[in-house]
Amino acid sequence: MRKQIAAANWKMNLTYQQGSALLQTLVTTEIDLKEHQAAVFAVPFPYLEMAVDTVQHKKNYYIAAQNCSDKKSGAFTGEVSAEMLKSLNVNYCLVGHSERREYFGESNAVLAEKLNICLANGITPVFCCGEALATREQHRQNAYVEGQLKESLFHLSKEALLKVVIAYEPIWAIGTGKTASTEQAQEMHAHIRSVLKNQYGDSIAEQISILYGGSVKASNARELFASKDVDGGLVGGASLIAAEFIEIIKALK
């Protein structure tokens, strides 16, 4: 079975003390994750070391960075390199979240470099893709997401692609309280997998975990995750509430 992942994206929320308390609650809660399941926490940069230390003895719990530089090192004040993340034993890194694309102008070409540098450092990139409301209203969402995949992923070998996680996030459903219907989520996840199949073949595409990210909550997680091609979620606001995220983790297939 494909890896099933409940990924928390804290974004720019919680103080150090609040984040530490939240993780302590989660690691001390009895959740029996199976071998094919994982809980991943994308925390702000200042909390990475604390977070790694907190979850290191919890089976199938991992820490992610929310971003990394596309440069190896150098005079880039304020940036954080993948090599730095590796030195902290960070296992995952979000790449191309819609907020990074929108607010910081990250292009598909820049994201391709970020994927390369994460993989070179043994970090699993969680590659985010998805369309805005206007694109969906024009019925161009499939072509738009396919373009994101082609421009950022298709330079990778089959072996490298197997080390990537994809997260589909309909931008119109992030932080708005709107959620794509289960049918809409499955439809796009199936489309993403078909795009991968066309480029890399059925065997490779069937092994890639594709997460759904768009107002996932405890109340809708189980239904969303039950879909054939939905392999978990990239969770924003609900991941800041221990009771909510615990139920989301338990909803994994």
Which CATH number does the domain housing residue 113 bear? 3.20.20.70
Our answer to whether residue 247 is catalytic in this structure is no
Residue 229: phi and psi, rounded to 5, are -105, 10
pTM: 0.96
Closest CA to 96 of 83, 105, 87, 84: 105
Percentage of residues in the chain having pLDDT higher than 90? 92
Our answer to whether residue 189 is catalytic in this structure is no
Indicate the number of domains in the chain.
1
Sequence-ordered list of residues with C-beta below 8 angstroms from that of 188, at least 6 positions apart, any chain: 141, 142, 145, 168, 170, 180
Please write the tens of the pLDDT for every residue from 103-133: 999 999 999 999 999 999 999 999 999 999 8
Angle in degrees, CA 186, 187, 190, rounded to 5: 80
246: confidence class by pLDDT, cuts 50, 70, 90: very high
- Judge whether residue 172 has pLDDT over 80: yes
9 is in which domain, residue-wise? Answer: 4-250
| Catalytic residue selected from 106, 169, 189, 191 | 169
- Judge whether residue 175 has pLDDT over 80: no
pLDDT of res. 53? 98
In our burial notation (b when 16+ CB lie closer than 10 A, e otherwise), range 71-98 reads eeeeeeeeebbbebbbebebbbbbbbbb
3-state helix, strand, coil in the chain (%, to 5): 45, 15, 40
Residue type, position 218, single letter = A
Average pLDDT over every residue of 14-26: 98
| Catalytic residue selected from 97, 131, 191, 244 | 97
Ranges 4-13, 154-163, 164-173, 225-234: which has the least confidence: 164-173
